[in-house]
Amino acid sequence: MLCRLANLARHLRRMAGSRLRRTTPGERARRRLMSVQLGPGDVAVDCGANVGDVTALLARGGATVHAFEPNPVAFAELERRFEGVGHVRCHRQAVAVGAGPRRLFLHERAEEDGLRWSTGSSLLSAKPNVRQESFVKVETVDLCDFLRGLGVQVRLLKLDVEGAEVELLDRLLDTGLVHSIDHIFVETHEEKIPELRVGTRALRVRLRHLGLSHVNLDWL
């Protein structure tokens, strides 16, 4: 009997270990995001929403979600997906420091499949996988001005804007608006865009110095 129990325990440990090994980075990121409980009355902001996969997670408990997506192909799918969902507001804009028209550079393979490669579009022409001669004109909204205009404590901010994250976070720190957000989840792009490495390292040092543990640069 004891032998059978020991064998069963080993089997369960192997199964648990196997499940952990099979967990993808995307699944781990989803769990981290969903560890923040959102419900009616909460406000979340999804910057770089693309077709709305994260938006859907943030909105499922009834929170008001502002989803920003400048790529016109991705935005059309985002808008279609949340048509009639009153607590999801879709904005066909990029978030930036400062407002106005900008060029959104498209992924080098966007001509093959505009929706599939829409995640790679960026305001940064230096991003290695975009084509400088292939772009669309988009409107940008000043993120800090938008957050101030909400007039409420934001429960969660997700930033995945293909390279503009460091500039935006530095601005949130400079203005003190970082304290008006309970949880910030960021995908940094310094591995894909070498020009961002120095700024990203400096941002990490700044966050550690300030002790701002609610800003998560490693959620993905």
Q: pLDDT tens digits, the chain, 220 residues: what are they?
A: 545 545 545 655 565 555 545 667 778 878 888 899 999 999 999 999 999 999 999 999 999 999 999 999 999 999 999 999 999 999 999 999 999 999 999 999 999 999 999 999 999 999 999 999 999 999 999 999 999 999 999 999 999 999 999 999 999 999 999 999 999 999 999 988 999 999 999 999 999 999 999 999 988 7
**54 inside domain:** yes
**133 inside domain:** no
Residue 57, domain CATH:
3.40.50.150
Give the global pTM: 0.87
Query: How many domains, in total, are found in the chain?
Result: 1
Residue written as tokens 């008006």?
A: 180
Domain that holds residue 174: 24-101+140-216
- Assess contact for 69 and 78: CB atoms under 8 A: yes
